[in-house]
Amino acid sequence: QAKRAGQHDLVIYRPGMLDRRADDDALGQDLENAVASGQLRVLYQPMIDLATGHPIGAEALVRWHHPLRGIVAPLDFIPIAERTGTINGVGLYVLEQACREAHGWPGDAYASVNLSARQLQDTGLVAAVLGVLDRTGLPPHRLVLEITESAIVDDRVAIPALETLRAHGIRIAIDDFGTGYSSLQYLSRLPVDILKIDRSFVAELDNTSKGSAITEAVISLARILDLTTVAEGIETADQAAELQRLGCHTGQGFLYAKPLAAPDVLEYVTHHTAAATSSASASTSAS
């Protein structure tokens, strides 16, 4: 029997030990039935309102529990899934799981779900997303879809799809912002609501003034375009303080929480919200 890796034992599979291409082909084939056989798990990383310190949502991050290889990280199988087309099934599975979970979170806490470039090319995307909201009962304002700059650059299918999704009240975030090549003019025409500042810029905040200059520029740009900013990969209290000083709205990173299993994120979001904090302190002072 294959060893069951625990939820938090990260056994990262590293390709390249064998012939990479043959190995990718093998993984690609295994992926075909990974969804059907329940090998995909979705973890959720809390997203924090930097001004209050309270969670306001969580990002869905997929893991593949391969029966023989252990946990395969998304960066090791999403690109393969994109090439073979299984990403459409994988992406829809993650979306549905995330919407189901988020429906049980308190208040207006939202799920932020990554979409790949290939999903954006799928003409059935809008109907599929709206179908998931319908089935799960999650209101559209509690769903954010994350896409990368490169996934939408110069595209005639993606932009109308994003416009329709937005018209339904779903928010769109640009993930890893700053690592692509979109011009300011282009960005100003994109149907988006949120910029996620890439982790590489957040990591620079501790070091040099040049590092913080980029983050500062992205935040001013977002302010001009009336977009919300999210910083990813916050690992230190200094980074959080600097981001807050610069006016960044939201943050996520190991400083607050790692990606958590569904029951753990429910507990996190429930126990760290404003309502929970005030009722907890009220009951403490009452006893």
For the segment 145-164, give every residue that binds Mg ion (CB under 5 A): 146
How far apart are the C-alpha atoms of 23 and 80, rounded to whole Å? 11
What residues between 87 and 126 interact with Mg ion by CB under 5 A?
114
Among 96, 149, 216, 232, binds ligand C2E (CB under 6 A): 232
Question: CA 102, 107, 113: angle at the middle one, nearest 5?
Answer: 30
Q: Tell me the H-state helices in the chain.
A: 20-32, 74-84, 87-103, 117-121, 125-136, 149-152, 158-167, 184-189, 199-204, 209-224, 237-246, 262-272, 274-286
DSSP 73: P
Tokens of 3: 């060893």
Q: Is 250 one of the binding residues for ligand C2E (CB under 6 A)? A: no
Among 188, 254, 278, 281, binds ligand C2E (CB under 6 A): 254
Q: Indicate whether 62 belongs to the interface with ligand C2E (CB under 6 A).
A: yes
Residue 177's nearest CA partner among 214, 209, 149 is 149
Least distance to Mg ion, CB of residue 170, Å: 15
Strand partners, 244: none
- Stretch binding ligand C2E (CB under 6 A), from 102-110, 132-140, 156-164, 228-236: 228-236
Q: Which one of 17, 18, 75, 286 is in contact with ligand C2E (CB under 6 A)?
A: 75
Is 182 a binding residue for Mg ion by CB under 5 A? The answer is: no
Q: Which residues bind Mg ion (CB under 5 A)?
A: 114, 146, 175-176, 232
Using CB under 6 A, list all residues that contact ligand C2E: 45, 60-62, 73-75, 78, 91, 94, 114-116, 146, 175-176, 199, 232-235, 252-254, 259
